[in-house]
Amino acid sequence: MSEVVVVVDGLIKKFHDVAVLQGVDLTLHRGEVLSIIGPSGSGKSTLLRCLNQLEEIDGGEIRHNGELLGIETVRGKLMRSREKDIVRQRRAFGMVFQHFNLFPHMTAIENVMEGPTQVRKVSKTKASALAAEELARVGLAGHANHYPAELSGGQQQRVAIARALAMRPEIMLFDEPTSALDPELVDEVLDVIRSLAAEGMTMAIVTHEMSLAQEISDTVVVMDRGQVVETGPPGQVFRAPRSERTRRFVAKLIAAQQKTDKENL
């Protein structure tokens, strides 16, 4: 495996004294596709939000390329980092959410340009060229001047992916990127994720699409009740899980898929 880019060590996150993450350990390598699966409420999305510093952690630590995220030592004491440092650190991570969160009053290309111009201070001319490149990358070269209301859900999510890519992140984070889509629109988004994996993009993907997790993942992490209960290659996790909780979860997935297949006959 290539060099380590992210290390999560003993991560704890609480909401109203309830520990949503309970000592999570995780390692992400450069070029790795890591899928995070598990039952609803197991802390998967919270983990991604902590990686992107959208949530302040309550214990443990996260390091990116050896740098401690969100925390710094001031006069011998650990303190919350300054906002400008958090913004700088966050640029390494591109985040794609369940819901597209596009600006409705902006066209697709304007949505993609927003981050480079406002955060990276790229000129509008360069940002426009960059946005056009990223829209083409996700198969939307002909939709640059369409507003979100004129796009399907799958197209809106692809604009959201282009928007994240336009910031030139080192790591892409996907939080259930197809969960808000109609079934017939899922594949067009999954195809973009597959292409990014083929390009060697480092990715962490929270997903309920088990076929995708098996197809493109180097590593699958199974979470339950705020803990990592199993980590391994997809073949081992799905076909020979070591944890009893993983076995129960995989059995439920298989039963649900068999039910869906019968309904589609």
**Model pLDDT for residues 122-171, shown as the tens digit of each residue:** 999 999 999 999 999 999 999 999 999 999 999 999 999 999 999 999 99
- Is residue 61 packed enough to be buried (19+ CB in 10 Å), middle (13-18) or exposed (0-12)? middle
Give the closest residue to 6 by CA, choosing from 178, 173, 149.
173
**pLDDT score for 128:** 96
Instruction: Give the separation between CA 43 and CA 96, rounded to whole angstroms.
Output: 17
Bridge-based pairing of strands 219-224 and 227-232 is antiparallel
**pLDDT score for 264:** 59
Q: For residue 39, what are its two tokens? A: 């039952």
Question: Distances from the Cα of 10 to the Cαs of 178, 203, 226, in angstroms?
Answer: 29, 21, 11
> What's the whole-model pTM score?
0.92
Instruction: Give the separation between CA 13 and CA 54, rounded to whole angstroms.
Output: 12
- Under the banding of pLDDT at 50, 70 and 90, the label for residue 211 is confident
If you average pLDDT over every residue of the chain, what do you get? Answer: 92
Say if CB 127 and CB 111 are below 8 A apart.
no
**pLDDT score for 173:** 97
**pLDDT score for 265:** 61
Instruction: Give the separation between CA 235 and CA 227, rounded to whole angstroms.
Output: 21
Question: Which runs of E-coded beta strand occur in 55-144?
Answer: 59-64, 67-68, 71-74, 77-80, 93-96
pLDDT in tens, 83-132: 889 999 999 999 999 888 999 999 999 999 999 999 889 999 999 999 99
Instruction: Give the separation between CA 158 and CA 205, rounded to whole angstroms.
Output: 15
Residue whose pair of structure tokens reads 């509008």 in the numeric block: 124
pLDDT score of 180 more than 90: no
Give the closest residue to 175 by CA, choosing from 18, 71, 55, 31.
55
Q: Average the pLDDT over 44-59 and give the result.
A: 94
